Structure 1
Amino acid sequence: MSDAMTGFCFDHAFVINLDHRTDRWAKMADNLARVGIVAERFSAISVRDLIDDQPTMALKDFLKRVDGPSPSAEHKLQTTWACMRSHLAIIRMARDAGWPSVLILEDDCEFESYTPAVLNRACEQLQGREWGVLYLGGTLKKGGKKAAVSSNLLAVSRIRLAHAYVVNASLYERILREAPGSGLPLDWYYSEILQASSNALMVRPTLAYQRLFDMSDIEQVERQPKYKTRQMLQRCWARIRYGRTSY
């Protein structure tokens, strides 16, 4: 394990990145270096790789119910399935290697400057505690819950997005078995099925956000800022409290 990662609650980290998105990998590499996280690039499974591995009809029906008729429906179905396959490939690799946990990042992830200070604290507070998945960022959906279990850890349910999370070895087999047949995109499977019975936790304050003004490969829209006063104040306070750390 790299000296930069000493004290973190994972020994292995991967960034899912399509081969042609060299721009995203460059941004990720720079951001990770700034916060002391050492991660390998994982060549993402693309739609072209799905010739013998097609999405389930259940997933197709789900996206149709959620999004309605759309000329881009087939593209979203294929890319959603390819995205899941990339995540599962990393989890399968972690299982086969016997790793205690693994950090999975998507290449549109961006870490706050105070990540090292907060993550070290959160990982210390994780010691001796049962947990299955640890979110470094995500969105609380309606009906979800957050409850403090320590100063930097929240017990959570219905957290959506899968751009930055750590999976404990105790969940590898379950995720690999359940996710493909769930009929849901991976982050929905996590939020609607897995989290309720897996001791899901989230780091407080949030460390990782999806990069703004970046075109989503799945949604095919550019993420725009949503100005939420409470969230902005929380981020400002965290920057003051934990300061900036560079490596």
Structure 2
Amino acid sequence: MTELCFEHAFVINLDHRTDRWARMTESLAQVGIAAERFSAISVRDLIGDQPSVALKSFLQRVDGPSPSAEHKLQTTWACMRSHLAIIRMARDSGWPSVLILEDDCEFEPYTRTVLNRACKQLQGREWGVLYLGGTLKKGGKKVAVSANLSAVSRIRLAHAYVVNASLYERILREAPESGLPLDWYYSEVLQASSNTLMVRPTLAYQRLFDMSDIEQVERRPKYKTRQMLQRWWARTRYGRSSY
């Protein structure tokens, strides 16, 4: 079995979302990835650690007036704190990298096969973040650098990514002060000046028909012919993982 590009993996999961943890446990087992549960920081845990004024202003500009604005502000901040807590633990433990997953993540059946190949192709290459999935925003780039890796920028979402130790300190220092949600900080700040890669084909998606704890809306499928063809081609080529 090929050595993966991370020794430690964690799933961020709120204590009351036992349903999501159960689904993640099953999904991880199917693709042969071992990950520990990380008890997510909740809004109740934020006493004495309130969101920055800059983040509040940013969300007001992006979303406009909304009855759920305060809820989104608090949960966005708590989400960032959970991600940063894992990165801090990785830094303090001296881990060379860490895989961070959110509990609404779903994997393609060929995840282990492609991930093995991508991690092998990482050897000898400088990198800071490796995305297993994400959304390419307008103005971003996605350029193939090997059979299963693309150099990317302006990739949004943070449901499945590996952080290299070279970026631990920078993320911990910059993200809380950026005035941005964490995935926006990654896409608009970090990726512009770090070697960010993404596995190709995409391995991890956010689960559909699942209520977002932050947005408070159910994710619905967006049928795009190109993406559907890409997924069909990848499943035909790679089949199911073997491990």
Query: With structure 2 as the length reference, what TM-score do the two structures score?
Result: 0.99
One-letter amino acid matched to 1:93? M
> Is 1:16–1:86's contact at 8 Å kept on the other side of the alignment?
yes
One-letter amino acid matched to 1:170? S
User: After alignment, is 58-67 or 236-245 more displaced?
Assistant: 236-245
Residues 1:44 and 2:28 are matched in the alignment: no
| Counterparts of residues 1-247 of structure 1 (less than 5 Å) | 6-245=2-241
* Secondary structure in 1 matching 2:133: coil
How high is the sequence identity, in percent, across the aligned residues? 88
One-letter amino acid matched to 1:233? L
**Deviation readout 1:221-245 (Å, 9 max, x if unpaired):** 0000100010001001100100112
2-side partners of 1:151 and 1:169: how far apart?
24
**Deviation readout 1:18-77 (Å, 9 max, x if unpaired):** 000000000000000000000000000000000110000000000000000000000000
> Is 2:113–2:242's contact at 8 Å kept on the other side of the alignment?
no
* Secondary structure in 2 matching 1:230: helix
Moved over 4 A (4+): none
2-side partners of 1:124 and 1:51: how far apart?
43
Q: Which runs of 5+ in 2 are unaligned?
A: none
Q: CA RMSD in A?
A: 0.8
Q: Which runs of 5+ in 1 are unaligned?
A: none
Aligned length, in residue pairs = 243
* Secondary structure in 2 matching 1:206: coil
1-side partners of 2:160 and 2:112: how far apart?
15
**Deviation readout 1:119-152 (Å, 9 max, x if unpaired):** 0010010000000000000000000001111010
1-side partners of 2:144 and 2:226: how far apart?
18
One-letter amino acid matched to 2:137? K
Deviation at 1:246, TM superposition (A): 5.3
> Is 1:34–1:246's contact at 8 Å kept on the other side of the alignment?
no
2-side partners of 1:43 and 1:246: how far apart?
30
2-side partners of 1:220 and 1:140: how far apart?
23
> Is 2:87–2:98's contact at 8 Å kept on the other side of the alignment?
yes
